[in-house]
Structure 1
Amino acid sequence: MLAELSIRNFAIIDSLSVSFSKGLTVLTGETGAGKSIIIDAIGLLIGGRGSTEFVRYGTQKAEIEGLFHIHPGHRVYDKCEEFGITISDEDEMVVLKRDITENGKSICRVNGKLVTLSVLKEIGQALVDIHGQHETQYLMQPDKHLFLLDSFGDKDFKQELVSYESTFKDYKEINKQLSELSRNEQEIAQRIDLLEYQYQEIAGSNLIPDEDVKLEEEKRMLSNFERIHGSLQDAYHNLYGEGKALELVSSALADFSQVAALDESLKADEEQFGNSFYVLEELTYKIRDMFDSLEYNPERLNSIESRLDELSKLKRKYGSSVKEMIDYSEKIKKELELIQNKDNHIEELKKKQEKLIAKLEVSGKKLTKRRAETAKVLKNSIQQQLKELYMEKTKFEVVMKRIEDDQFLRTGLDSVEFYISPNPGEPLKPLSKVASGGELSRIILALKTIFSENQGITAIIFDEVDTGVSGRVAQAIAEKIYKVSIGSQVLCISHLPQVAAMSDTHLHISKDTLQGRTVTKVLTLKTDEKVNEIGRMISGVEITDLTRQHAQELLELAASIKKTS
């Protein structure tokens, strides 16, 4: 669940810290007090699109931070592991943080680690699901219905979908290769000329793996010949000769051996001393050999510099190292072979394409069958939910159609659209054309109720889902939202007293003017305060004893419903 939200310099919010509890939290207050701004902040925290308009006037950046408690096995663990983010097994929490600067840039962190906005979005949307008024528009777009249906699919369905998508990916790759090989003759001839020139230039350079590294090392040696020569000479003369280091160490070893012959405890030290002497002696002879083999060759140095210059020019065109240039040469060699033998390759690719088409057809039909089964379960589930929302006479149907023959989509062979018949005797028609605002609110709530049981979302946020409803429908929506909150934390902005009465926690949002600036305040209402706020929601500005009595009755009814839920 979302346990803590901290907001600074965001829109009209100066500084605000809100603690949230389990169950249903309802946010109420006058229009413009800042209720939706808090939800907007949460939306940005989970990767929503930012804007400089969110940064409070006169400040450099807006800061939003949220603390989420998660249960073991939550899918966010896999998401965080995928991006190298650690979640402590002891704390079982995720901290999301997002700053938006005055120039519109975002700085995102998850558990203190800097991440991209896309990573923040992936992790954030595994924690929070926000349903605002705009989602009814989402429901009005038929091309989104397939996604909603597939989201409801079980494990077997999702495995079938993954299998189909894998085959489809291979099919698209074959089509791409065929398209490239089917370009017009002039393009192909120009491509062959370019590739042959590049290949011949690289091949003619007789590249040797790592030769640039070895040549740079040899150049460094020759360029520093005098310094190396002098240093080796000095080192050898200091080690070898009468009265020099090697002779002195040899004499010291002889003296120490005499002592070790009398003291058995020094035998190991004598052996180590001897080994060290022999290592030093071997190193002395190696220095001598290096010194003797050194020969300054200005012609070789010129040759190396010329070769490195040649390699440098090639690198500017074909790769940053000799290895990359050799790899590129192999790549264009294969492409040349492919183009020059394109007729054979096209024939082979077409055979593969035919096999993939047949495989897609089989896999697609299996997917369609699974999808039809899923559609039937979804239909029955939504019908039950709508019945509980006083839409028992409404018929809901998932209409599936086969796309054109020999056509394949990444999602399968089907198009999907939701149809409803709001009134008895009326034919089923596309949801997008016949549903009213109140009906759309109830349908989306029905979908959320169903999906929340399967998606494992930590927090679900409803932003004024009660638009366009009243009376007993409002009470049904209140009860439905509360039932969702039993399995997942729910935050809800509402203007309905019935919804406010069902809350486990009631937050009142207000705004005030302080030192000439607007500030937003959040107050957790106690029982008496809750009665007054619900009374205000019922009657408006003036709260009478009768409205307080009505508010008290709503709270008592809510308490009774909660006991039986």
Structure 2
Amino acid sequence: MLMELTIRNFAIIDEISISFEEGLTVLTGETGAGKSIIIDAIGQLIGGRGSVDFVRHGSNRAEIEGLFSLDPSHEVCTIFSDIGVDIDEDETVLLKREITKQGKSICRINGKLVTLATLRQIGQMLVDIHGQHEHQHLLQADKHLLLLDRFAESAIAKTKNEYMQLYQRFIKKRERLQQLTENEQDMMQRLDLLQYQYQEIVAAQLQPDEDKHLLEEKKRLDYSEDLFRTVHGSYTALYGENKGLEWIMAAMHQIEEAADMDAGLQQLKESITNSYYLLEEASFSLRDYYEKIEFDPERLNEIEGRLSEISQLKRKYGDTVNDVLEYASRIEEEIDALKNRDEHLHQWEKELKSIAKDVLVEGRHLTELRKKAAKRLEKAIHQELMYLYMKDTDFQVMFDEREVTADDLINMKRRLPVSEQGMNHASFMVATNKGEPLKALEKVASGGEISRMILALKTILATHEGVTSLIFDEVDTGVSGRVAQAIAEKIHQISFGSQVLCITHLPQVAAMADHHLYISKQLFDGRVKTAVTRLTKEEKVEEISRMISGVEITDLTKQHAKELLMQAATAKQ
């Protein structure tokens, strides 16, 4: 969950730091006080599109930091490992984003610089923001299949994985077949080019890692004179009359005589004796090394010429000799395929059709599993909608039912509902009143109906989406009365499994809050800034009263507010 949020120089926010807790937290306040700006800041923290307009006037940059606590089993932890981000022992992760007044974004996760794309990938697995006009996946028809799959994950995971592997094999095989069936003239030109390239590489007679070995030898030849001088100098310092070894030998003889007189010097004697023989052996190795050093300008010229030839090949075919050899191996296979095109074509067509049939079998099995899951989802959604006073609403998951054959799949002559995700397009369809036809979810007109549909779907899908925090930005717009109370209870219900932050203007929702934050505007040194206050029990009564009656708060509205809080406490129990 989101434990701590710090915002600096963001829009009208100077600097605020907010601590969040488990359960339902509501944010209330007058219009324009900065409630949605706080949500906008969280949106930036999880990779939203940045803008210089977010930087507070007179500041060089805006900064947003969010501290999250994680369950070790959360799927985001595997991504942290992949990108080299360490998770603290207390299983927390710190996301930070800075937006400069030049429009640049600087993103960090636990102090490590990451790209905006990486921050977005991580952030959207931690936080899900839903607003009245921005319902993300739930109102995007092309995402409905993904949402269904998350709902049905345990039932379809194995089959879907097998289908995806088959589909990837099929696509690669089909692309290869298309290459073999290209224009005859283009194929011959391709063959001529590949044969020329292959012959050029073969003629060079490259050896694995040859460039590395030649560079090492060139380095030795370049420094051969200095190597001879330094190694020979080291040898002569050790070996010869009045040189190092002779003095160490004298010390060895003296300590041997001393050790005969004092047994306590025996260990020291052995150390000096061993050192002498080790240095004597090292001096012989030095002599052997410098005697083998060659001054060979011709060999150096030969190496430089060979490296130049290899460099030409690397510019064309790869960064290293091994890359060039690997390229030669690949084009050798392609040359063989082009030369024996007809034979390969027949074999590949046969293999492609076999894989296409396997894809269809696995795809149809996946479709059946999805349809069963869709029935379970429909039933669950209907139950939620009844609770939200939409008992006459019909909700169905519609699938593209077109029959697909192996030939259809191979030729792709018409637009097919086939992709790496399966052989379906799925859409959430609703009819909000009896006698009305089913329509796409995104075309439901009423704001209140949209709010309740979103909430019903969210209640069912929240546990399948893996996010740690859910944010509702005025999703309760357009409702009142008993519907408002039902929505309040439903939002609180969702908070059992996820941390929920909710901006609301409904007193019923505010009354259900486990934690209530009041957002206000204050004038300081001639500038407006946003302030956040955590309300006490008494202050909650005042704020809910204001939400009920507007500007003037009476004893009656206070009594009504207290009754709402009592009803909320009963509902929570």
TM-score (structure 1 length as normaliser): 0.92
Relative to structure 1, is the Cα distance of residues 301 and 538 closer, same or farther in structure 2, using a 3 angstrom cutoff?
same
Q: Aligned residue for 1:461?
A: 471
> 1:71: Cα distance to partner?
4.0
Deviation sequence 1:100-121 (CA, Å, 0-9, x none):
2222222222222322223322
Q: Aligned residue for 1:525?
A: 535
> 1:137: Cα distance to partner?
7.4
**2 CA distance for matches of 1:178 and 1:101?**
50
**1 CA distance for matches of 2:52 and 2:539?**
37
Q: Aligned residue for 1:330?
A: 329
**2 CA distance for matches of 1:146 and 1:161?**
12
Deviation sequence 1:339-379 (CA, Å, 0-9, x none):
33333333232222112111111111211111111111101
Q: Aligned residue for 1:144?
A: 143
Map 1:391-402; keep pairs closer than 5 Å. 391-402=390-401
Q: Does 1:41 align with 2:41?
A: yes
**2 CA distance for matches of 1:140 and 1:517?**
39
> 1:182: Cα distance to partner?
2.1
Relative to structure 1, is the Cα distance of residues 410 and 424 closer, same or farther in structure 2, using a 3 angstrom cutoff?
same
Structure 2 counterpart SS, 1:125: helix
Conserved in 2, the CA contact under 8 Å of 1:136 and 1:441? no
> 1:270: Cα distance to partner?
4.2
Deviation sequence 1:59-90 (CA, Å, 0-9, x none):
1111111122334534443343343333334x
Q: Aligned residue for 2:415?
A: none
Conserved in 2, the CA contact under 8 Å of 1:403 and 1:413? no
Map 1:344-423; keep pairs closer than 5 Å. 344-406=343-405, 407=409, 408-423=418-433
Q: Aligned residue for 1:555?
A: 565
Q: Aligned residue for 2:63?
A: 63
Q: Aligned residue for 2:113?
A: 114
Structure 1 counterpart SS, 2:33: coil
Deviation sequence 1:405-425 (CA, Å, 0-9, x none):
134322222222222232234
> 1:498: Cα distance to partner?
1.3
Q: Does 1:478 align with 2:485?
A: no
**2 CA distance for matches of 1:234 and 1:412?**
74
Deviation sequence 1:373-419 (CA, Å, 0-9, x none):
11111011000000000011222222223244134322222222222
**2 CA distance for matches of 1:328 and 1:137?**
45
**2 CA distance for matches of 1:52 and 1:388?**
44
Q: Aligned residue for 1:446?
A: 456
**1 CA distance for matches of 2:337 and 2:528?**
69
23-32 vs 228-237, which deviates more? 228-237
Q: Aligned residue for 2:412?
A: none
Relative to structure 1, is the Cα distance of residues 254 and 41 closer, same or farther in structure 2, using a 3 angstrom cutoff?
same
**2 CA distance for matches of 1:377 and 1:316?**
59
Conserved in 2, the CA contact under 8 Å of 1:402 and 1:413? no
Deviation sequence 1:528-555 (CA, Å, 0-9, x none):
3322322222222233333333223222
Conserved in 2, the CA contact under 8 Å of 1:136 and 1:440? no
Relative to structure 1, is the Cα distance of residues 431 and 72 closer, same or farther in structure 2, using a 3 angstrom cutoff?
closer
Relative to structure 1, is the Cα distance of residues 310 and 428 closer, same or farther in structure 2, using a 3 angstrom cutoff?
closer
**2 CA distance for matches of 1:455 and 1:359?**
30
> 1:232: Cα distance to partner?
4.4
Relative to structure 1, is the Cα distance of residues 216 and 25 closer, same or farther in structure 2, using a 3 angstrom cutoff?
closer
**1 CA distance for matches of 2:236 and 2:6?**
73
**2 CA distance for matches of 1:224 and 1:425?**
92
Deviation sequence 1:194-228 (CA, Å, 0-9, x none):
22222222222222333333333433344444434
Structure 2 counterpart SS, 1:375: helix
Return the match for 1:497 from 495, 501, 507: 507
47-56 vs 473-482, which deviates more? 47-56
Q: Does 1:169 align with 2:168?
A: yes
> 1:39: Cα distance to partner?
0.7
Structure 1 counterpart SS, 2:400: strand
Map 1:202-221; keep pairs closer than 5 Å. 202-221=201-220
Relative to structure 1, is the Cα distance of residues 151 and 230 closer, same or farther in structure 2, using a 3 angstrom cutoff?
closer
Root mean square deviation of aligned Cα? 2.5
Aligned-pair identity (%) = 53
> 1:494: Cα distance to partner?
0.9
Structure 2 counterpart SS, 1:66: strand
**1 CA distance for matches of 2:291 and 2:433?**
105
Relative to structure 1, is the Cα distance of residues 289 and 139 closer, same or farther in structure 2, using a 3 angstrom cutoff?
closer
AA partner of residue 513 (structure 2) = S
AA partner of residue 200 (structure 1) = Q
**1 CA distance for matches of 2:489 and 2:215?**
77
Gaps of 5+ in 1: none
**1 CA distance for matches of 2:383 and 2:19?**
35
Relative to structure 1, is the Cα distance of residues 458 and 189 closer, same or farther in structure 2, using a 3 angstrom cutoff?
same
**2 CA distance for matches of 1:22 and 1:137?**
24
Structure 1 counterpart SS, 2:425: strand
Map 1:127-276; keep pairs closer than 5 Å. 127-136=126-135, 139-264=138-263, 266-267=265-266, 269-276=268-275
AA partner of residue 516 (structure 1) = G
**2 CA distance for matches of 1:549 and 1:40?**
35
**2 CA distance for matches of 1:347 and 1:443?**
53
TM-score (structure 2 length as normaliser): 0.91
Deviation sequence 1:297-353 (CA, Å, 0-9, x none):
333333233223323333332333333332332233233223333333332322221
Q: Does 1:21 align with 2:21?
A: yes
Conserved in 1, the CA contact under 8 Å of 2:444 and 2:450? no
Gaps of 5+ in 2: 410-417
Structure 2 counterpart SS, 1:542: coil
Structure 1 counterpart SS, 2:125: coil
Structure 2 counterpart SS, 1:530: helix
* Count of residue pairs brought into register by the alignment: 562
Q: Aligned residue for 1:278?
A: 277
